[in-house]
């Protein structure tokens, strides 16, 4: 790799991590968000905007890491959580249960529990619950996208969903949106508990593309133009489906980036996504979730 390219990558990485000095972002660490009787204790770190930036109720972001539904942890998304906090959002960066020990929909249930917890903390953290977005990358992007398209009456909305689990927008990168597109690779098979031929309905139920309805919130999708792990048609097809339903959506391709480089240089895309969702809401203020879903 050439020195100019290395220098450019270093600059982009710093832009993702150094939005504001770390001392200006307040953080609460290792807060348990799962219920006492949950199958596994799950934790979150919460990042707050710099003091004095806003005195009213603030938007928030549920931040979800990737790792093939099987590995990694929330530390992967710390830079993104800090970037969101610097932009004025309360960022809740969570862990969740892993496959194959905990197959789908365990991970979605974890996100729904996290949303319930955020709502319970909203008053003390000054969160506007009408303006909670989902932010994720790769498998984490899949989970927030699926959460975003689930509405009232959807089979995945119970037993742990409901109005508290509704997102006002989704900002996601490198996202698998149609799990039928994977050729029965190990990660997807272990996540869903079988192959496409064995459990086709589970593949359909777990795919944001196939669960998309008119009630979905605005989406900002970013994707590496050279991604071969999660090919770019996952983003292109989902974006087209969103637009066909009249749902605000923008697709941003990261030029000459694959799946992992797209993640490492995600800072500018995250910034563009924040701007897009603010514009989609109008003047930076989101309408109530029900109104946002009817646009």
Look at 4-13, 55-64, 283-292 and tell me which has the smallest mean pLDDT.
Answer: 4-13
Give percent of the chain above pLDDT 70. Answer: 87
CA 47-75-29 angle, to 5 degrees, is 45
pLDDT band at 52 (very low <50, low <70, confident <90, very high): confident
Beta bridge partners, 169, equal: 133
- Which secondary structure element, helix H or strand E, spans residue 275, and what is its range? helix 267-281
**Which of 171 and 9 is assigned the larger pLDDT?**
171
* Phi, psi for residue 65 in degrees, rounded to 5: -80, 165
> What does 162-198 look like in DSSP terms, one character per residue?
SGGG--SEEEEES----GGGS-S-HHHHHHHTS-TTT
Give the per-residue pLDDT at 280. 85
Q: Is the dihedral of CA 183, 185, 188, 194 positive or negative?
A: positive
pLDDT at 187: 98
The pLDDT assigned to 281 comes to 74
pLDDT at 10: 39
pLDDT value of residue 54:
65
Q: Report whether pLDDT(5) > 50.
A: no
| Mean pLDDT, residues 163-190 | 97
Taking Cα atoms as reference points, which of 80, 110, 101 lies closest to residue 171? 80
Answer whether the bond into residue 159 is a cis peptide, omega within 30°: yes
Could you report the per-residue pLDDT of 233-264, keeping only the tens digit for each?
999 999 999 999 999 999 999 999 999 999 99
Mean pLDDT over residues 186-209, rounded?
98
Report the residue count for the chain. Answer: 295
What is the C-alpha to C-alpha distance for residues 119 and 165, in angstroms, rounded to an integer?
9
pLDDT of residue 216 exceeding 80: yes
- Whether the CB-CB separation of 223 and 133 falls below 8 Å is answered with no
Sequence-separated (6 or more) residues with CB below 8 Å from residue 264: 9, 12, 13
Q: Is 285 exposed, middle or buried (0-12, 13-18, 19+ CB in 10 A)?
A: exposed
Beta-strand pair 249-254/169-173? unpaired
Instruction: Give the tens place of pLDDT for each residue, 125-153.
Output: 999 999 999 999 999 999 999 999 999 99
Q: How many CA atoms lie within 13 A of 11 on its CB side?
A: 6
Residue 48 β-bridge partners:
26
Distances (CA, A) of 33 to 15, 42, 141: 30, 6, 20
pLDDT at residue 211 tops 70: yes
The better pLDDT of the pair 288, 181 is held by 181
pLDDT band (50, 70, 90) for residue 291: very low
* Stretch 170-191: mean pLDDT: 97
Spatial contact of 174 and 135, defined as CB atoms under 8 Å apart: no
Residue-averaged pLDDT of the chain: 90
Is pLDDT at 3 greater than 60 in this prediction? no
Determine the average pLDDT of the residues in 12-24. 47
CA dihedral 49, 50, 53, 56 (to 10 degrees): 50
Domains of the chain: 21-293 (3.40.50.1820)
Buried b (16+ CB within 10 A) or exposed e, 170-192: bbbbbbbbbbebbeeeebbbbbb
- What pLDDT, on a 0 to 100 scale, did the predictor assign at position 152? 93
């Amino acid at each position: 790799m050439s020195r100019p390219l290395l220098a450019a990558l270093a600059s982009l990485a710093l832009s993702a991590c150094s939005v504001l000095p770390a001392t200006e972002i307040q953080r609460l660490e290792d807060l348990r968000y799962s219920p006492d009787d949950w199958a596994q204790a799950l934790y979150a770190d919460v990042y707050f905007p710099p003091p004095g930036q806003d005195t009213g109720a603030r938007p928030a972001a549920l931040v979800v890491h990737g790792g093939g539904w099987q590995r990694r942890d929330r530390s992967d998304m710390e830079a993104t959580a800090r970037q969101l906090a610097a932009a004025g959002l309360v960022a809740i960066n969570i862990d969740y249960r892993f496959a194959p020990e905990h197959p789908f929909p365990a991970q979605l249930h974890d996100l729904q529990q996290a949303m319930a917890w955020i709502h319970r903390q909203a008053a003390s953290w000054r969160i506007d619950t009408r303006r909670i977005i989902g932010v994720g990358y790769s498998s984490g992007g899949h989970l927030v996208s699926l959460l975003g398209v689930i509405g009232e009456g959807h089979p995945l909305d119970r037993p742990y969903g409901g109005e508290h689990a509704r997102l006002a927008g989704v900002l996601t990168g490198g996202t698998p949106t149609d799990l039928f597109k994977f050729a029965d690779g190990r990660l997807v098979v272990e996540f869903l508990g079988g192959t496409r031929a064995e459990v086709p309905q589970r593949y359909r139920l777990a795919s944001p593309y196939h669960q998309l309805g008119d009630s979905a919130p605005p989406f900002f999708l970013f994707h590496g133009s050279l991604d071969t792990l999660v090919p770019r048609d996952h983003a292109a097809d989902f974006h087209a489906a969103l637009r066909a339903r009249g749902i605000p959506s923008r697709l941003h391709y990261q030029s000459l980036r694959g799946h992992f480089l797209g993640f490492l240089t995600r800072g500018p895309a995250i910034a563009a996504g924040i701007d897009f969702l603010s514009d989609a809401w109008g003047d930076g203020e989101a309408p109530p979730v029900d109104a946002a879903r009817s646009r």
